[in-house]
Homo-oligomer: A and B are copies of this chain.
Amino acid sequence: MKKGTIKVSVLYPSGEGKTFDMDYYLNKHSEMVTELLGDAMLGATVEEGLAGGEPDSKPPYHVIGSMYFESVEAFQNALAPHAEKIMGDIPNFTNIEPIIQISKVVI
């Protein structure tokens, strides 16, 4: 994605007792978010954690989902009318409280 693009990442930390329904996340939640955010969302990625940096370690994050936007305002305007619905869907696939990171693409 080109330099300066805004990347909004939703990171789901792994840990004892944490659950995550990947099927629901990919086929229901992500589909819904894509539809609700519409053209403001320039693209999206999903990664599933395999391991950490140490041998045989668990991944620090179970899943990381990211979405790209032209600007922070474009993201906020797209999210605002649907924030409650999107956030309210999270307990349907996980008991993890996600970490939200808004970044600027540098490379």
Docked-complex contact A47 and B100, CB < 8 angstroms: no
Docked-complex contact A61 and B101, CB < 8 angstroms: yes
Question: When each residue 1-38 of chain A gets 1 if its CB lies under 8 Å from chain B and 0 otherwise, what string results?
Answer: 10000110101000000000000001000100000000
Q: In the complex, what residues of B have CB within 8 A of residue A51's CB?
A: 72, 102
Q: Which of B6, B53, B103, B104 contacts A100 (CB 8 A)?
A: B53
The majority secondary structure among interface residues of chain A is strand
How far is B50's CA from A6's CA once the two chains are assembled, in angstroms?
Answer: 9
Which 9 A/B pairs are nearest by Cβ-Cβ distance? A53-B100, A47-B103, A46-B107, A46-B106, A51-B102, A50-B102, A48-B104, A48-B106, A60-B99
